[in-house]
Amino acid sequence: MLDTARRTAFDAEHGLFRDQVRRFFDKALIPHLDRWEEEGIVDRDLWTQCGETGLLCPTVPEEYGGLGLDFRYNAVIDEELAYAGSTAGITLHSDIVADYIVVYGSEAQKQHWLPRMISGETPTAIAMTEPGAGSDLQGVRTTAIRDGDSYVINGSKTYITNGQHADLVIVVAKTDPSQGAKGTSLILVEADREGFARGRNLDKIGLHSQDTSEMFFNDVRVPADNLLGQEGAGFAYLMNQLPQERLSIACSAQGAAQRAFDEALAFTRDRKAFGKSVLDFQNTRFTLADLATKLQVGWAHLDWAITRHVAGELTATEASAAKLWHTELQGEACDTALQLHGGAGYMNEYLIARLWRDARVTRIFGGTNEIMKEVIGRGL
């Protein structure tokens, strides 16, 4: 269990909410993790169960059926989900997609979609990445060309989280390909539109229970009212929302790093070698001491970043630094913890194997860590 006694970003109400989240995960999530890993997808019922428990989109204003809370409640869910060893796509749904609709959606879009997102009736995705465009979002080739009172969408996307479950997708597309970034817009696409097709549930190194898919758009016609915000403002919207996305990744990374450490500590305490506990060897103690120190620094930094974000003060550079530092720590913690498990760490029956597999991608998605360094460097 995460030790939150010395956290500075949260108060008693967040503690009560965290207890609620833990109880729900203990009942509805953790018992099914191994099966979902094998099946490559969580049960659809998880979405509605999360909705019934109040775990989806907690920041959505009350007038749209939400709780009207601040991002700290999202952070609680992010940390606890990662600590539980799950990569279910509810964090993308709540931390990323919901905010795009709250901030940029029309009143009609908010009234229609947000209640359905909160209840879990409508899982969502955001389709940015393409086979030829990853961190460079200016390079997307999917088009959404205006035709009367509609947009006609053509193109393909890949590596889309919630790709199998999503009933609503925010599609990043060029409404004016001649304008580069200034011609980029965000379009809401319902999954039942003619011409829309999901590809396969992709076979990944990790994140096995998180459905990640290709998406194809073949003359998909949607009403012009499905435009999210203003035409041509999509790239600016993406840049504005990236700090929260990257902070969300940092929260999950820190939670997973702590779980890896806790698993290694418990294993080395119980495991015997040469007549004594593995933890009694100086190398083990020094290795864990070093990791414990970095985790202590990490929690302090994360609380600082969360507090700044809630106050509206977290900059894009600071968020990029948080994503960079915490995902690098996650990778180090998981690799170190697996090494301390010895041969057992390479066995899928131990949680550390899953944590290690799942950690690798966090240095890639949300903008690669090389891009994070570029963003930070530009701000020097």
Question: Which residues are annotated as catalytic?
Answer: 245
C-alpha span between 199 and 158 (Å, rounded): 9
Report phi then psi at 227, rounded to 5. -60, 130
DSSP 159-177: EEETTTT-SEEEEEEESSG
Nearest CA among 123, 59, 114, 319 for reference residue 228: 114
Q: For residue 123, which of 131, 137, 113 has the smallest C-alpha distance? A: 113
Give the Cα separation of 342 and 328 in Å (integer).
Answer: 22
Instruction: Round to whole Å and give the CA distance between 143 and 151.
Output: 9
Q: Give the integer Cα–Cα distance in Å for 273 and 40.
A: 37
Q: What are phi and psi of 56, to 5 degrees?
A: -110, 130
